Homo-oligomer: A and B are copies of this chain.
Amino acid sequence: MYMFRNLCTGVSRITVRFGTRSMSISSSRSVDQLLSGRNDDHGGVIVEMSTEPVDAVVFGSLLRASILHWRQEGKKGVWIKVPIELVNLVEPAVKVSVFALLQSSCFGMLFHASLQEGFYFHHAEPKYLMLVYWIPETPSTIPVNATHRVGIGGFVMNEKKEVLVVQEKSGILRGTGVWKFPTGVVEEGEDICDAAVREVKEETGIDTKFVEILAFRQSHKSFFEKSDLFFVCLLQPLSFNIQPQESEIEAAQWMPFEEYTAQQFVQKNEVLKYVSDVCLSKREGKYSGFSPVPTTGSFSTTESYLYLNRHCLNSP
């Protein structure tokens, strides 16, 4: 079907059928009866539904007509962002099937194509669901969904070589007496270096300056099918009076590094043992991790951090 568009420019009429009904839309008059979307940079269309109520049957009809229109335009991926208020539109989008009768004016022949599959889920956040549809008959190049959650741990050492540790009120270490580094999750759109400073401040009240990433771990199936990237960050303390976060932290303190490392919990955990070795090596000035360099211009004008071993670079 996709090729006919290029062969026959005189397509004059599209018949849209849904259920037992059918309606005829002249392609020149149909524009105001279509869903409005904006183009993306990859030959696709993005439709963002407002939260105004829409009837599911009306929507299904609009969607069929719109797909035929976008097909004619040579569009590839179609994205529909459905707010949770319009959850009634999810089923008609997934079940949409477009039967198109295209009458070619160049040959006077009738071509018939049936598209069996409707929209797929692409990703979801609490208040919306993103649906996607691939128009061409060529393999889909729809990008994959986000696959990783990102966490940080903050290694903060003061001038007395004491490390900042906490005991948590919930989670698997609750009530175990284990002292651990402050840890947390990187929020949407947050830089790793900012997340580390924020989490340490939230959990302990200590202000810090980000220094570098000492190591990171990638693990799988940490949360349903999703993976996890956990960055161990070195931070320099800028304040020293601890104020534990009431909701999450049972206790917090500056603890001699050796005492932290000597905990059974650390000694028996291969990852934590490695991280301790790294911190020890760092304390002795022998280790260099990755530090953030602000950059612009990698396919966009927004600033992003490049993390690299700056100690080894000739020109920092």
Residues of A within 8 A of B (CB): 41, 84, 87-88, 90-91, 94-95, 120-130, 141, 143-150, 170, 172, 185-189, 191-192, 214-227, 229, 268-272, 274-275, 277-278, 281, 286-290, 293, 295-300, 302, 304-309, 312-315
Contact = CB atoms under 8 A, between A and B. Distances in A.
Nearest to A315: B277
Contacts of A220: 189, 302, 304
A247 to B, nearest CB: 8
A126 B121 contact: yes
A305 to B, nearest CB: 6
B295 A189 contact: no
A299 B230 CA distance: 13
Contacts of A218: 191-192, 304-305, 307
Contacts of A95: 87
A98 B120 CA distance: 30
A299 B268 CA distance: 11
A171 to B, nearest CB: 9
B143 A146 contact: no
Contact of A305 (B188, B217, B314): B217
8 contacts: A90-B91, A91-B91, A123-B226, A143-B223, A188-B225, A189-B220, A218-B305, A219-B298
B229 A229 contact: yes
Nearest to A220: B189
A300 B144 CA distance: 27
Nearest to A132: B126
Nearest to A171: B42
A196 to B, nearest CB: 12
Nearest to A145: B125
Question: Which one of A123, A287, A297 has the greatest number of beta carbons of chain B within 10 Å?
Answer: A123
Given A219-B302, A309-B309, A189 B227 contact: yes
Contact of A144 (B149, B191, B298, B314): B149
Contacts of A289: 308-309
A274 B295 contact: yes
A187 B219 CA distance: 13
B144 A185 contact: yes
Contacts of A275: 306
A238 B306 CA distance: 29
Contacts of A293: 274
A277 B314 contact: yes
Given A288-B309, A306-B216, A295 B278 contact: no
Contacts of A91: 87-88, 90-91
A52 B245 CA distance: 47
A298 B188 contact: no
A229 B124 CA distance: 20
Nearest to A56: B91
Contact of A295 (B214, B217, B229): B217
Nearest to A46: B224
